[in-house]
Amino acid sequence: MTKPVVSLREITAETVRAICELEPHQAQSGFVAPNAVSIAQAHFNPAAVFRAIYADEMPVGFIMWRPDDDGASCFLWRFMIDGRHQGEGYGREAITLWLESLPPQGYKLARLSYVPGGAGPHGFYLARGFLDTGETRANGEKLMELAL
Protein backbone atom coordinates (compact mmCIF):
# COMPACT_ATOMS: atom_id res chain seq x y z
CA MET A 1 0.00 0.00 0.00
CA THR A 2 1.41 3.37 -0.99
CA LYS A 3 1.57 6.24 1.44
CA PRO A 4 -1.05 8.94 0.75
CA VAL A 5 0.19 12.20 -0.78
CA VAL A 6 -0.42 15.15 1.54
CA SER A 7 -1.40 18.47 -0.04
CA LEU A 8 -2.68 21.89 1.01
CA ARG A 9 -5.73 22.89 -1.02
CA GLU A 10 -8.03 25.86 -1.28
CA ILE A 11 -11.39 25.37 0.39
CA THR A 12 -14.32 25.74 -1.99
CA ALA A 13 -18.08 25.92 -1.69
CA GLU A 14 -18.09 22.19 -2.47
CA THR A 15 -15.55 21.26 0.23
CA VAL A 16 -16.23 23.71 3.07
CA ARG A 17 -18.75 21.50 4.88
CA ALA A 18 -16.35 18.54 4.99
CA ILE A 19 -13.57 20.78 6.33
CA CYS A 20 -15.86 22.27 8.99
CA GLU A 21 -16.76 18.76 10.17
CA LEU A 22 -13.13 17.90 10.95
CA GLU A 23 -12.23 18.14 14.63
CA PRO A 24 -9.40 17.13 16.93
CA HIS A 25 -9.69 14.52 19.68
CA GLN A 26 -12.04 15.59 22.47
CA ALA A 27 -9.09 16.13 24.85
CA GLN A 28 -7.62 18.61 22.33
CA SER A 29 -10.75 20.69 21.73
CA GLY A 30 -9.55 23.51 24.02
CA PHE A 31 -6.33 23.92 22.06
CA VAL A 32 -7.72 25.04 18.69
CA ALA A 33 -10.84 26.84 17.50
CA PRO A 34 -13.35 24.96 15.33
CA ASN A 35 -12.54 25.18 11.61
CA ALA A 36 -15.79 27.02 10.90
CA VAL A 37 -14.74 29.78 13.33
CA SER A 38 -11.28 29.96 11.75
CA ILE A 39 -12.71 30.26 8.23
CA ALA A 40 -15.10 32.99 9.39
CA GLN A 41 -12.24 34.90 11.07
CA ALA A 42 -10.12 34.59 7.92
CA HIS A 43 -12.84 36.26 5.87
CA PHE A 44 -12.50 39.34 8.08
CA ASN A 45 -8.69 39.41 7.93
CA PRO A 46 -7.63 40.08 4.33
CA ALA A 47 -4.05 38.90 5.01
CA ALA A 48 -5.13 35.46 6.27
CA VAL A 49 -4.49 32.41 4.13
CA PHE A 50 -6.22 29.13 4.92
CA ARG A 51 -6.10 25.69 3.34
CA ALA A 52 -7.54 22.24 3.82
CA ILE A 53 -5.03 19.48 4.42
CA TYR A 54 -5.68 16.44 2.24
CA ALA A 55 -4.23 12.92 2.23
CA ASP A 56 -4.81 11.93 -1.39
CA GLU A 57 -8.48 12.88 -1.88
CA MET A 58 -9.49 12.71 1.80
CA PRO A 59 -9.66 15.91 3.90
CA VAL A 60 -7.74 15.35 7.14
CA GLY A 61 -7.03 18.80 8.57
CA PHE A 62 -6.87 22.58 8.38
CA ILE A 63 -4.10 25.20 8.40
CA MET A 64 -4.29 28.99 8.50
CA TRP A 65 -1.56 31.63 8.60
CA ARG A 66 -0.97 35.32 8.10
CA PRO A 67 2.04 37.54 7.48
CA ASP A 68 3.30 39.52 10.45
CA ASP A 69 3.46 43.29 10.17
CA ASP A 70 7.23 43.21 9.60
CA GLY A 71 6.78 41.38 6.28
CA ALA A 72 9.67 39.03 7.10
CA SER A 73 7.83 36.65 9.41
CA CYS A 74 4.71 34.57 9.06
CA PHE A 75 2.40 33.50 11.89
CA LEU A 76 0.76 30.07 12.02
CA TRP A 77 -2.67 31.09 13.25
CA ARG A 78 -4.44 27.71 13.25
CA PHE A 79 -3.44 24.12 12.63
CA MET A 80 -5.35 20.93 13.25
CA ILE A 81 -5.48 17.33 12.14
CA ASP A 82 -8.76 15.51 12.60
CA GLY A 83 -8.66 13.13 15.56
CA ARG A 84 -9.40 10.15 13.31
CA HIS A 85 -6.29 10.89 11.24
CA GLN A 86 -3.71 11.78 13.88
CA GLY A 87 -0.58 9.68 14.21
CA GLU A 88 -0.38 8.97 10.48
CA GLY A 89 2.23 11.62 9.64
CA TYR A 90 -0.18 14.02 7.95
CA GLY A 91 0.55 16.82 10.41
CA ARG A 92 4.30 16.51 9.95
CA GLU A 93 3.94 16.55 6.18
CA ALA A 94 1.50 19.48 6.19
CA ILE A 95 3.77 21.61 8.40
CA THR A 96 6.73 20.74 6.17
CA LEU A 97 4.80 21.80 3.05
CA TRP A 98 3.81 25.06 4.74
CA LEU A 99 7.34 25.82 5.94
CA GLU A 100 8.83 25.05 2.51
CA SER A 101 6.40 27.51 0.91
CA LEU A 102 7.52 30.46 3.07
CA PRO A 103 11.11 31.33 1.95
CA PRO A 104 10.12 31.74 -1.73
CA GLN A 105 7.58 34.32 -0.51
CA GLY A 106 10.34 36.23 1.30
CA TYR A 107 9.69 35.03 4.84
CA LYS A 108 12.68 34.50 7.12
CA LEU A 109 10.86 33.42 10.29
CA ALA A 110 7.83 31.24 11.10
CA ARG A 111 6.06 32.03 14.37
CA LEU A 112 3.18 30.45 16.28
CA SER A 113 1.50 30.38 19.65
CA TYR A 114 0.01 27.45 21.51
CA VAL A 115 -2.13 26.79 24.55
CA PRO A 116 -0.02 24.95 27.15
CA GLY A 117 -1.41 21.63 28.37
CA GLY A 118 -0.87 17.89 28.46
CA ALA A 119 -2.64 17.07 25.20
CA GLY A 120 -1.36 20.24 23.52
CA PRO A 121 0.92 20.61 20.51
CA HIS A 122 4.13 21.83 22.19
CA GLY A 123 6.09 18.60 21.66
CA PHE A 124 4.90 18.36 18.05
CA TYR A 125 6.21 21.86 17.28
CA LEU A 126 9.51 21.23 19.11
CA ALA A 127 10.01 18.12 16.96
CA ARG A 128 9.48 20.27 13.84
CA GLY A 129 12.31 22.59 14.92
CA PHE A 130 10.35 25.42 16.54
CA LEU A 131 11.91 26.93 19.65
CA ASP A 132 10.25 28.54 22.64
CA THR A 133 10.77 32.30 22.74
CA GLY A 134 10.00 32.59 26.45
CA GLU A 135 7.18 35.02 25.65
CA THR A 136 3.60 34.54 26.82
CA ARG A 137 0.68 36.37 25.22
CA ALA A 138 -1.94 38.15 27.33
CA ASN A 139 -4.30 35.19 26.72
CA GLY A 140 -1.76 32.74 28.22
CA GLU A 141 -0.56 31.27 24.92
CA LYS A 142 3.18 30.59 24.64
CA LEU A 143 5.16 31.74 21.60
CA MET A 144 7.51 29.70 19.45
CA GLU A 145 9.50 30.46 16.31
CA LEU A 146 11.62 28.83 13.63
CA ALA A 147 14.26 30.57 11.51
CA LEU A 148 13.75 29.63 7.85
pTM over 0.85: yes
Dist CA 94 CA 62 (whole Å): 9
Band of the pLDDT at 70, cuts 50, 70, 90? Answer: confident
Query: Measured between alpha carbons, how far is 5 from 54 in angstroms, rounded to an integer?
Result: 8
Burial class (CB in 10 A: 0-12, 13-18, 19+), 82: buried
DSSP output for 14-49: TTHHHHHT----GGGGGGS--HHHHHHHHHT-TT-E
Q: Which domains does the chain have, with CATH numbers?
A: 6-147 (3.40.630.30)
Helices (H), ranges, the chain:
16-20, 35-43, 90-101, 122-127
- Tens of pLDDT along 87-145? 999 999 999 999 999 999 999 999 999 988 887 899 999 999 999 999 999 999 999 99
